[in-house]
Amino acid sequence: MIVLKNIQQAQVIFKNIRTKRQTIGFVPTMGALHNAHEQIILRSKKESSVTVVSIFVNPLQFGPKEDFNKYPKPFNKDLSICKKLKVDYVFAPTIKQMYPDKIVYTNISVKKYTGILCDKFRPGHFNGVATVVTKLFNIINPTKAYFGEKDYQQLLVIKQLVKDLNFTIDIVPCETFREPDGLAFSSRNKYLSKTERNQANVIYKSLLYCKQLILTKKFSLSKCINYSKIFLNKNILLPHKIQYFEIYDNNLSPVNNDVKQIKPNTTLRIFVAVYLGKTRLIDNMPVNI
């Protein structure tokens, strides 16, 4: 395993790999690697000649009141995980390498999927994601890039970015990996106290509950949402806040409130964001009508 921190050096190495007609699988991360990252890395290794994992906590995607400074950065542990999984290259640039002028004069903004879900509550977040991903794509120029469905809105933003900017990169969606009790793996799970962690699986249960209500076709979507919020509030006994609980189709377009009017074989998706104490957790679940 080779660790690269210099952009110019990385570009030369990855260009040489492509010259040899080898495929590059790219797994972008902000470090604090967990089991879901490991599963995605293993998939890349199966599907690509060379696997590259980036570790970079991108300041552009954190708001002024968000957790950039306390975001977990266990770099040595992350390297040991990558080494265990036989990752070929870890690209771990510094902030100075990625943003040498300190001020970022060029921002990438994907106008689709704005004003809803996470974008509504984290203005500028997806601009930061799109900007850093564009830079990483230009540096690494992978064949495939792997993104988790847990961050579903982000996945669609990246797909649109690749389409609009004509990147010849295959974006590979990866299923949401969960802990045994259903809680989606997330680097932010480390923020949870023991009591918060014990109750956090209610978020997953609320998605299952909402899905079951939808599939009965006895209730409008708005009632399914309201009942699910009640379920959440009753079962999370510690301080919490539901930021959003919403339903869209698989392209994040609004859907008919009357489930019986929705076309058969339509895939809906339930989205939730909840604060447990100070920790914000998101999750989503597909529902096939």
Positions annotated as catalytic residues are 37
- Phi (first) and psi of residue 240, to 5 degrees: -155, 170
CB 26 within 8 A of CB 142: yes
First-to-last CA distance in the chain?
45
Give the integer Cα–Cα distance in Å for 129 and 46.
Answer: 26
What's the chain's length in residues? Answer: 289
CB 78 within 8 A of CB 50: no
* Start-end of H helices in 141-193: 152-164
Give the integer Cα–Cα distance in Å for 86 and 212.
Answer: 41
